[in-house]
Amino acid sequence: MVQPAAAEMAGVPPAGAAQAAAEAAPQQTEPLAAAPAEHSGTQAASPAPAARPRDHEKAGDSLEGFNRAMFGTWRVLDKAVYRPAAMAYKHVAPKPLRTGIRHVLSNLTEPLVFLNFLLQGKPRSASRTLARFVINSTVGVGGLIDVANDKTINLPHRNNGFGTTLALYGVGPGPYIFLPFLGPSNLRDLLGTSSEGLLIPLAVGTPFDTIEYQLATAVVGGLDQRAESDDALKALLSGAVDPYATLRSAWQQNRVAEIEAIRHGGEAPRVEQDQPELEDPLADPAAAQPAAPQPVPELSDPLEDPAAKPPAP
């Protein structure tokens, strides 16, 4: 997971999640309800229900009216405030500085990731997270350099949080919720993120419980997240007929994938700290490469009847 306060400031999915959602969005279609069988001599057999993840997020949007209003508010604020401020931050702050700050904020979340792996009964993943935190906090100068992500060490950051822990213990997602300062979420994850936001300030104290620290990490982390998510958000929303439904569906799909990866494999998908820019945000990554052009034979006579017999010698 991202630093709770920092993640909330941008009101968008994390950069990696937004990019994955942008790539998955063109393939998403809402399932159509099967038409009832017409009456005949025999009753048609009912098709077997399709398999679905145990933590099925797409259970409806009971707060859709409220969420759409909040989404509209976010788009207005994003156009007027969030994006201009994020692009200014990206322009003013050198990339090494932005990367270092991102690594520090990510490193501060590793104890929470470690705790949640323990609560989920994943000791191997917990030990790898602890090793990552120790390496980056020491050799990596307080997390400024992501040494553990090097291929020789291979201890990348893995998203995990109390919302995922609740899901693994059978707590349902609850209604989908979109708030301008939080972005897409659901009731379970919202409660989980709020709990985590209080845990370190209460357990450690200064400086994590000071308003200065909370405000600084929220602003800087939020600006960086919005800047890193810019290309993916454009790819996801620019051509969408219904941007709200597109973002909701993409976020829910990505959230289910995170939970199922931890449920079955013990670890969430690898999170790259430095997201590459999208070369073509509208290109279909699954599209086949165009075939090499074949030589076209010349036509001997465009008016010749192809069915006519050749003239006798």
**pLDDT tens per residue, range 217-242:** 999 999 999 999 999 999 999 889 99
CA distances from 247 to 101, 170, 252 (A): 27, 25, 8
Upper half-sphere CA count for residue 307 (Cβ side, 13 Å): 0
More confidently predicted of 270 and 152? 152
| 3-state class (DSSP) for residue 293 | coil
**pLDDT tens per residue, range 44-80:** 444 444 444 444 444 579 999 999 999 999 999 999 9
C-alpha to C-alpha distance for 282 and 142, rounded to whole angstroms: 38
Residue 81 dihedral angles phi and psi, to the nearest 5°: -130, -60
pLDDT band at 278 (very low <50, low <70, confident <90, very high): very low
Average pLDDT of the segment spanning 22-36: 44
Confidence at residue 33, expressed as pLDDT on a 0 to 100 scale: 39
Residue 287 burial (10 A CB sphere; 0-12, 13-18, 19+) = exposed
C-alpha to C-alpha distance for 225 and 41, rounded to whole angstroms: 61
Confidence at residue 29, expressed as pLDDT on a 0 to 100 scale: 40
pLDDT band at 244 (very low <50, low <70, confident <90, very high): very high
Confidence at residue 310, expressed as pLDDT on a 0 to 100 scale: 55
Which of 110-124, 187-201, 282-296 shows the lowest mean pLDDT across its residues? 282-296
Model pTM score:
0.70
Concatenating the DSSP letter of every residue in 7-51 gives: HHHH-S--HHHHHHHHHHGGG--PPPPPPPPPP-SSPPPPPPPPP
**How many CB atoms within 10 Å of residue 153?**
15
